[in-house]
Structure 1
Amino acid sequence: MPQRDYVRASRPKAPAKKAGAARGGRGKAPAAASKPWLLIALTLLTLSVFIYGLWFLRQQPVVTPEPVATPVKVAPKDELPPKPQAEPYQYIKELENKEITVEVPQQQRSVPAVLQCGSFRQQNQAEQMKAQIAFAGIATDVRRTEGSNGVWFRVVAGPYESRRAATADMNRLRQMGINTCQVRNVT
Protein backbone atom coordinates (compact mmCIF):
# COMPACT_ATOMS: atom_id res chain seq x y z
CA MET A 1 0.00 0.00 0.00
CA PRO A 2 1.52 3.34 -0.98
CA GLN A 3 2.02 5.97 1.68
CA ARG A 4 0.03 9.16 1.42
CA ASP A 5 1.30 12.58 2.38
CA TYR A 6 -1.65 14.05 4.27
CA VAL A 7 0.21 17.24 5.18
CA ARG A 8 0.90 18.23 1.57
CA ALA A 9 -2.62 17.32 0.51
CA SER A 10 -4.18 19.63 3.11
CA ARG A 11 -2.08 22.67 2.20
CA PRO A 12 -3.58 25.22 -0.18
CA LYS A 13 -2.05 25.25 -3.60
CA ALA A 14 0.45 28.00 -4.42
CA PRO A 15 -0.89 30.82 -6.61
CA ALA A 16 0.08 30.75 -10.25
CA LYS A 17 3.17 32.78 -11.15
CA LYS A 18 2.71 36.07 -12.98
CA ALA A 19 3.81 36.44 -16.56
CA GLY A 20 6.60 38.89 -15.66
CA ALA A 21 8.06 36.56 -13.05
CA ALA A 22 8.08 33.67 -15.48
CA ARG A 23 10.16 35.67 -17.99
CA GLY A 24 13.23 35.96 -15.85
CA GLY A 25 12.16 37.60 -12.64
CA ARG A 26 12.08 41.22 -13.84
CA GLY A 27 9.15 42.33 -11.69
CA LYS A 28 9.08 45.49 -9.58
CA ALA A 29 11.23 45.42 -6.47
CA PRO A 30 9.88 46.62 -3.10
CA ALA A 31 9.64 50.38 -2.65
CA ALA A 32 12.31 50.59 0.09
CA ALA A 33 14.86 48.70 -1.98
CA SER A 34 14.25 50.82 -5.09
CA LYS A 35 14.77 54.13 -3.23
CA PRO A 36 17.92 53.84 -1.12
CA TRP A 37 18.61 57.57 -1.51
CA LEU A 38 15.52 58.31 0.64
CA LEU A 39 16.86 56.19 3.50
CA ILE A 40 20.29 57.82 3.21
CA ALA A 41 18.78 61.34 3.19
CA LEU A 42 16.74 60.65 6.35
CA THR A 43 19.79 59.29 8.14
CA LEU A 44 21.92 62.31 7.19
CA LEU A 45 19.17 64.73 8.25
CA THR A 46 18.81 63.07 11.67
CA LEU A 47 22.58 63.04 12.18
CA SER A 48 22.93 66.71 11.22
CA VAL A 49 20.14 67.77 13.64
CA PHE A 50 21.87 65.87 16.44
CA ILE A 51 25.26 67.47 15.74
CA TYR A 52 23.67 70.97 15.56
CA GLY A 53 22.00 70.37 18.95
CA LEU A 54 25.35 69.45 20.53
CA TRP A 55 27.04 72.51 19.00
CA PHE A 56 24.23 74.79 20.24
CA LEU A 57 24.54 73.47 23.80
CA ARG A 58 28.30 73.99 23.73
CA GLN A 59 27.91 77.66 22.70
CA GLN A 60 25.78 78.51 25.74
CA PRO A 61 27.70 80.31 28.49
CA VAL A 62 28.16 78.48 31.78
CA VAL A 63 26.28 80.18 34.56
CA THR A 64 27.77 79.83 38.02
CA PRO A 65 25.61 80.97 40.87
CA GLU A 66 27.16 83.54 43.17
CA PRO A 67 27.20 82.52 46.79
CA VAL A 68 24.94 84.84 48.75
CA ALA A 69 25.66 85.27 52.40
CA THR A 70 22.43 85.29 54.33
CA PRO A 71 22.42 86.08 57.99
CA VAL A 72 21.37 83.13 60.11
CA LYS A 73 18.65 84.03 62.56
CA VAL A 74 18.71 82.21 65.82
CA ALA A 75 15.23 81.41 66.98
CA PRO A 76 14.58 82.29 70.60
CA LYS A 77 14.29 79.30 72.90
CA ASP A 78 10.70 78.19 73.22
CA GLU A 79 9.85 78.59 76.86
CA LEU A 80 6.99 76.96 78.68
CA PRO A 81 4.19 79.12 80.02
CA PRO A 82 4.24 79.82 83.74
CA LYS A 83 2.75 77.17 86.01
CA PRO A 84 -0.73 78.09 87.28
CA GLN A 85 -1.04 78.90 90.98
CA ALA A 86 -4.23 76.95 91.65
CA GLU A 87 -5.78 74.04 89.73
CA PRO A 88 -8.70 75.49 87.72
CA TYR A 89 -10.46 72.12 87.43
CA GLN A 90 -12.12 70.30 90.31
CA TYR A 91 -12.64 66.90 88.68
CA ILE A 92 -9.02 65.87 89.23
CA LYS A 93 -9.40 66.03 93.01
CA GLU A 94 -12.81 64.36 92.82
CA LEU A 95 -11.54 61.44 90.77
CA GLU A 96 -8.65 60.72 93.13
CA ASN A 97 -11.04 59.73 95.92
CA LYS A 98 -13.93 58.37 93.83
CA GLU A 99 -14.77 54.70 94.17
CA ILE A 100 -16.66 52.94 91.40
CA THR A 101 -18.58 49.74 91.94
CA VAL A 102 -19.53 47.49 89.05
CA GLU A 103 -21.98 44.64 89.28
CA VAL A 104 -20.84 41.59 87.34
CA PRO A 105 -23.57 39.04 86.71
CA GLN A 106 -22.75 35.42 87.42
CA GLN A 107 -22.15 33.49 84.21
CA GLN A 108 -24.23 30.43 83.70
CA ARG A 109 -22.27 27.24 83.49
CA SER A 110 -22.45 25.80 80.01
CA VAL A 111 -23.98 22.42 79.36
CA PRO A 112 -21.54 19.53 78.83
CA ALA A 113 -21.33 18.32 75.25
CA VAL A 114 -20.11 15.32 73.26
CA LEU A 115 -18.85 15.07 69.71
CA GLN A 116 -20.53 12.32 67.67
CA CYS A 117 -18.51 11.52 64.56
CA GLY A 118 -20.38 8.58 63.10
CA SER A 119 -23.02 5.94 63.54
CA PHE A 120 -22.51 2.58 61.84
CA ARG A 121 -24.30 -0.77 61.60
CA GLN A 122 -21.04 -2.74 61.76
CA GLN A 123 -18.48 -2.46 64.52
CA ASN A 124 -15.44 -2.69 62.24
CA GLN A 125 -16.56 0.48 60.37
CA ALA A 126 -16.84 2.29 63.69
CA GLU A 127 -13.35 1.11 64.68
CA GLN A 128 -11.94 2.45 61.38
CA MET A 129 -13.48 5.87 62.08
CA LYS A 130 -12.06 5.76 65.62
CA ALA A 131 -8.58 5.09 64.19
CA GLN A 132 -8.84 8.05 61.76
CA ILE A 133 -9.83 10.36 64.61
CA ALA A 134 -7.00 9.02 66.79
CA PHE A 135 -4.50 10.35 64.23
CA ALA A 136 -5.79 13.85 65.06
CA GLY A 137 -4.98 13.25 68.73
CA ILE A 138 -8.59 13.04 69.91
CA ALA A 139 -9.66 10.11 72.08
CA THR A 140 -12.96 8.51 71.07
CA ASP A 141 -15.15 5.62 72.20
CA VAL A 142 -17.30 3.23 70.23
CA ARG A 143 -20.68 2.92 71.98
CA ARG A 144 -23.17 0.21 71.17
CA THR A 145 -26.79 1.37 71.26
CA GLU A 146 -29.96 -0.51 70.57
CA GLY A 147 -32.97 1.30 69.24
CA SER A 148 -36.25 0.54 67.55
CA ASN A 149 -34.46 0.13 64.21
CA GLY A 150 -31.64 -2.18 65.33
CA VAL A 151 -28.12 -2.06 66.74
CA TRP A 152 -25.89 0.96 66.03
CA PHE A 153 -22.23 1.57 66.83
CA ARG A 154 -21.58 5.26 67.48
CA VAL A 155 -18.16 6.93 67.48
CA VAL A 156 -18.24 9.53 70.28
CA ALA A 157 -15.56 11.89 71.66
CA GLY A 158 -15.98 13.58 75.00
CA PRO A 159 -17.66 14.61 77.25
CA TYR A 160 -16.42 18.18 76.97
CA GLU A 161 -16.99 20.90 79.56
CA SER A 162 -18.61 23.19 77.01
CA ARG A 163 -19.90 23.29 73.45
CA ARG A 164 -17.01 25.62 72.57
CA ALA A 165 -14.39 22.98 73.44
CA ALA A 166 -16.28 20.38 71.41
CA THR A 167 -16.55 22.75 68.46
CA ALA A 168 -12.78 23.38 68.56
CA ASP A 169 -12.11 19.64 68.17
CA MET A 170 -14.76 19.39 65.45
CA ASN A 171 -13.00 22.15 63.48
CA ARG A 172 -9.65 20.40 63.89
CA LEU A 173 -11.20 17.22 62.46
CA ARG A 174 -12.70 19.15 59.55
CA GLN A 175 -9.24 20.41 58.64
CA MET A 176 -8.15 16.77 58.40
CA GLY A 177 -11.08 15.94 56.10
CA ILE A 178 -13.45 14.33 58.62
CA ASN A 179 -16.68 16.29 58.11
CA THR A 180 -19.21 13.95 59.73
CA CYS A 181 -18.90 15.13 63.36
CA GLN A 182 -21.68 16.94 65.21
CA VAL A 183 -21.76 18.56 68.65
CA ARG A 184 -24.56 17.23 70.89
CA ASN A 185 -25.57 18.09 74.44
CA VAL A 186 -25.13 15.40 77.10
CA THR A 187 -28.49 14.35 78.49
Structure 2
Amino acid sequence: MSQRDYVSRGRTPQKKQKNKKTTGNARNNAGPLPAKTVSWVAVGVVIALLVGFAYFLWSIKDNVEPDGVQPLAKKPVAVEDELPELPQEEWEYIKTLPGYEVEVDVAQQEKSDKRYLMQCASFKTRAQAEEMRAKIAFQGMEAQIRRSDGDNGEWFRVILGPYDAKRDAERAKHALRKVNITTCQIWFWNL
Protein backbone atom coordinates (compact mmCIF):
# COMPACT_ATOMS: atom_id res chain seq x y z
CA MET A 1 0.00 0.00 0.00
CA SER A 2 1.41 3.37 -0.95
CA GLN A 3 1.89 6.05 1.65
CA ARG A 4 0.27 9.41 1.22
CA ASP A 5 1.57 12.72 2.42
CA TYR A 6 -1.44 14.44 3.91
CA VAL A 7 0.52 17.31 5.50
CA SER A 8 2.01 18.84 2.36
CA ARG A 9 -1.25 18.52 0.51
CA GLY A 10 -2.67 21.49 2.40
CA ARG A 11 -6.25 22.26 3.14
CA THR A 12 -8.96 23.05 0.73
CA PRO A 13 -10.45 26.49 1.21
CA GLN A 14 -13.92 26.42 2.65
CA LYS A 15 -16.69 28.34 1.01
CA LYS A 16 -17.93 31.31 2.92
CA GLN A 17 -21.59 31.29 3.63
CA LYS A 18 -23.50 34.47 3.14
CA ASN A 19 -25.38 35.77 6.10
CA LYS A 20 -28.96 36.04 5.08
CA LYS A 21 -31.43 37.60 7.35
CA THR A 22 -34.56 35.59 7.41
CA THR A 23 -37.74 37.48 7.10
CA GLY A 24 -41.16 36.39 8.11
CA ASN A 25 -42.01 35.50 4.52
CA ALA A 26 -38.94 33.32 4.12
CA ARG A 27 -39.96 31.24 7.11
CA ASN A 28 -43.43 30.76 5.77
CA ASN A 29 -42.11 29.63 2.39
CA ALA A 30 -40.13 26.81 3.98
CA GLY A 31 -43.28 24.77 4.27
CA PRO A 32 -45.85 24.07 6.91
CA LEU A 33 -44.80 22.46 10.15
CA PRO A 34 -45.84 18.82 10.39
CA ALA A 35 -49.15 18.62 12.19
CA LYS A 36 -49.64 16.12 14.94
CA THR A 37 -52.46 13.91 13.86
CA VAL A 38 -53.83 11.23 16.05
CA SER A 39 -55.56 8.34 14.47
CA TRP A 40 -59.02 8.08 15.99
CA VAL A 41 -59.06 4.45 15.03
CA ALA A 42 -56.02 3.74 17.24
CA VAL A 43 -57.63 5.58 20.16
CA GLY A 44 -60.83 3.58 19.71
CA VAL A 45 -58.92 0.29 19.69
CA VAL A 46 -57.06 1.17 22.90
CA ILE A 47 -60.28 2.16 24.68
CA ALA A 48 -62.03 -1.03 23.49
CA LEU A 49 -59.15 -3.15 24.81
CA LEU A 50 -59.24 -1.44 28.21
CA VAL A 51 -63.03 -1.87 28.52
CA GLY A 52 -62.77 -5.53 27.46
CA PHE A 53 -60.02 -6.22 30.00
CA ALA A 54 -62.02 -4.56 32.79
CA TYR A 55 -65.10 -6.66 31.88
CA PHE A 56 -62.99 -9.83 31.87
CA LEU A 57 -61.66 -9.10 35.37
CA TRP A 58 -65.15 -8.29 36.66
CA SER A 59 -66.65 -11.48 35.24
CA ILE A 60 -64.07 -13.87 36.69
CA LYS A 61 -64.18 -12.54 40.24
CA ASP A 62 -67.48 -14.31 40.98
CA ASN A 63 -66.54 -17.62 39.35
CA VAL A 64 -63.78 -18.57 41.76
CA GLU A 65 -63.80 -22.33 42.26
CA PRO A 66 -62.36 -23.63 45.46
CA ASP A 67 -59.32 -25.71 44.88
CA GLY A 68 -59.25 -29.03 46.62
CA VAL A 69 -56.69 -27.71 49.06
CA GLN A 70 -57.13 -29.23 52.48
CA PRO A 71 -55.27 -28.09 55.52
CA LEU A 72 -52.39 -30.26 56.56
CA ALA A 73 -53.18 -32.81 59.19
CA LYS A 74 -51.74 -31.87 62.50
CA LYS A 75 -49.27 -34.36 63.76
CA PRO A 76 -49.52 -35.13 67.40
CA VAL A 77 -46.68 -33.58 69.29
CA ALA A 78 -44.62 -36.23 70.89
CA VAL A 79 -43.99 -35.50 74.52
CA GLU A 80 -40.29 -35.79 75.03
CA ASP A 81 -38.59 -36.38 78.27
CA GLU A 82 -37.91 -33.19 80.09
CA LEU A 83 -34.34 -32.05 79.98
CA PRO A 84 -32.39 -32.31 83.16
CA GLU A 85 -31.63 -29.13 85.02
CA LEU A 86 -28.49 -27.36 83.87
CA PRO A 87 -25.63 -27.63 86.28
CA GLN A 88 -24.57 -24.39 87.84
CA GLU A 89 -21.43 -23.17 86.14
CA GLU A 90 -18.71 -21.62 88.14
CA TRP A 91 -16.13 -19.49 86.52
CA GLU A 92 -12.91 -19.11 88.24
CA TYR A 93 -12.06 -15.68 86.88
CA ILE A 94 -15.00 -14.07 88.68
CA LYS A 95 -13.40 -14.88 92.00
CA THR A 96 -9.81 -14.14 91.04
CA LEU A 97 -10.26 -10.99 88.98
CA PRO A 98 -10.96 -8.46 91.77
CA GLY A 99 -7.75 -9.32 93.58
CA TYR A 100 -5.60 -9.32 90.46
CA GLU A 101 -3.71 -6.13 89.69
CA VAL A 102 -1.09 -5.58 87.04
CA GLU A 103 1.71 -3.23 87.86
CA VAL A 104 3.05 -1.29 84.92
CA ASP A 105 6.29 0.60 85.03
CA VAL A 106 5.57 4.06 83.68
CA ALA A 107 8.56 6.14 82.90
CA GLN A 108 8.34 9.53 84.46
CA GLN A 109 8.39 12.44 82.08
CA GLU A 110 11.81 13.93 82.12
CA LYS A 111 12.03 17.48 83.25
CA SER A 112 13.51 19.53 80.50
CA ASP A 113 15.56 22.58 81.26
CA LYS A 114 14.30 24.08 78.01
CA ARG A 115 11.23 26.24 77.98
CA TYR A 116 8.90 26.74 75.03
CA LEU A 117 7.13 29.68 73.46
CA MET A 118 4.40 29.76 70.88
CA GLN A 119 4.39 32.47 68.24
CA CYS A 120 0.96 32.91 66.67
CA ALA A 121 1.58 35.84 64.35
CA SER A 122 3.99 38.52 63.22
CA PHE A 123 2.72 41.86 61.89
CA LYS A 124 4.15 45.05 60.43
CA THR A 125 1.80 47.25 62.46
CA ARG A 126 1.16 47.23 66.17
CA ALA A 127 -2.61 47.60 65.63
CA GLN A 128 -2.81 44.24 63.83
CA ALA A 129 -0.78 42.63 66.61
CA GLU A 130 -3.14 44.06 69.25
CA GLU A 131 -6.12 42.68 67.33
CA MET A 132 -4.62 39.17 67.33
CA ARG A 133 -3.76 39.53 71.02
CA ALA A 134 -7.43 40.36 71.74
CA LYS A 135 -8.63 37.25 69.86
CA ILE A 136 -6.28 35.12 71.95
CA ALA A 137 -7.41 36.86 75.15
CA PHE A 138 -11.02 35.86 74.41
CA GLN A 139 -9.85 32.24 74.69
CA GLY A 140 -8.55 32.83 78.21
CA MET A 141 -4.86 32.96 77.28
CA GLU A 142 -2.46 35.81 77.81
CA ALA A 143 -0.34 36.83 74.84
CA GLN A 144 2.57 39.23 74.65
CA ILE A 145 3.61 41.53 71.84
CA ARG A 146 7.35 41.71 71.27
CA ARG A 147 8.93 44.18 68.90
CA SER A 148 11.82 42.89 66.82
CA ASP A 149 14.06 44.80 64.45
CA GLY A 150 15.66 42.99 61.58
CA ASP A 151 17.04 43.48 58.09
CA ASN A 152 13.53 43.64 56.67
CA GLY A 153 12.19 46.25 59.07
CA GLU A 154 10.27 46.38 62.29
CA TRP A 155 7.92 43.49 63.17
CA PHE A 156 5.51 42.95 66.05
CA ARG A 157 5.40 39.32 67.19
CA VAL A 158 2.43 37.89 69.11
CA ILE A 159 3.76 35.18 71.42
CA LEU A 160 2.42 33.03 74.24
CA GLY A 161 4.44 31.42 76.97
CA PRO A 162 6.81 30.44 78.42
CA TYR A 163 5.68 26.84 78.73
CA ASP A 164 7.65 24.35 80.81
CA ALA A 165 6.55 21.38 78.69
CA LYS A 166 5.89 21.12 74.99
CA ARG A 167 2.66 19.27 75.78
CA ASP A 168 1.29 22.41 77.46
CA ALA A 169 2.16 24.46 74.38
CA GLU A 170 0.47 21.90 72.12
CA ARG A 171 -2.67 22.00 74.28
CA ALA A 172 -2.85 25.79 73.89
CA LYS A 173 -2.19 25.48 70.15
CA HIS A 174 -5.13 23.08 69.73
CA ALA A 175 -7.41 25.38 71.72
CA LEU A 176 -6.52 28.27 69.39
CA ARG A 177 -6.98 26.08 66.33
CA LYS A 178 -10.61 25.53 67.36
CA VAL A 179 -11.25 29.28 66.93
CA ASN A 180 -9.48 29.37 63.56
CA ILE A 181 -6.10 30.70 64.68
CA THR A 182 -3.97 28.21 62.79
CA THR A 183 -0.66 30.02 62.34
CA CYS A 184 0.87 29.21 65.74
CA GLN A 185 4.33 27.65 65.90
CA ILE A 186 6.14 26.24 68.93
CA TRP A 187 9.81 27.12 69.47
CA PHE A 188 12.36 27.01 72.23
CA TRP A 189 12.34 30.08 74.45
CA ASN A 190 15.50 31.95 73.61
CA LEU A 191 14.48 35.59 73.78
- Common fold: TM-score over 0.5: yes
Q: Which residue of 2 aligns with 1:71?
A: 76
> What is the deviation of 1:61?
1.2
Q: Which residue of 1 aligns with 2:188?
A: 185
Cα distance in 1 for residues equivalent to 2:35 and 2:126: 91
Does residue 15 of structure 1 match 2:28?
Answer: yes
CA offset digits 1:95-129 (Å, max 9, x no partner): 89998664433332365422112344654443333
Cα distance in 2 for residues equivalent to 1:150 and 1:38: 91
**Identity of aligned pairs, percent?**
28
CA offset digits 1:85-104 (Å, max 9, x no partner): xxxxxx98xx8999866443
Cα distance in 1 for residues equivalent to 2:80 and 2:147: 90
Alignment-mate amino acid for residue 171 of structure 1 = H
Q: Which residue of 2 aligns with 1:58?
A: 62
Q: Which residue of 2 aligns with 1:142?
A: 145
Alignment-mate amino acid for residue 77 of structure 2 = V
Q: Which residue of 2 aligns with 1:108?
A: 110
CA RMSD of aligned residues (A): 4.3
SS in 2 for 1:154: strand
TM-score by length of 2: 0.57
Change (3 A) 1:127 1:182: same
Alignment-mate amino acid for residue 53 of structure 1 = L
Q: How many matched pairs?
A: 162
CA offset digits 1:49-92 (Å, max 9, x no partner): 332233234222135754744323455444356689xxxxxx98
Q: Please, which of 160, 167, 171 is the counterpart of residue 168 of structure 1?
A: 171
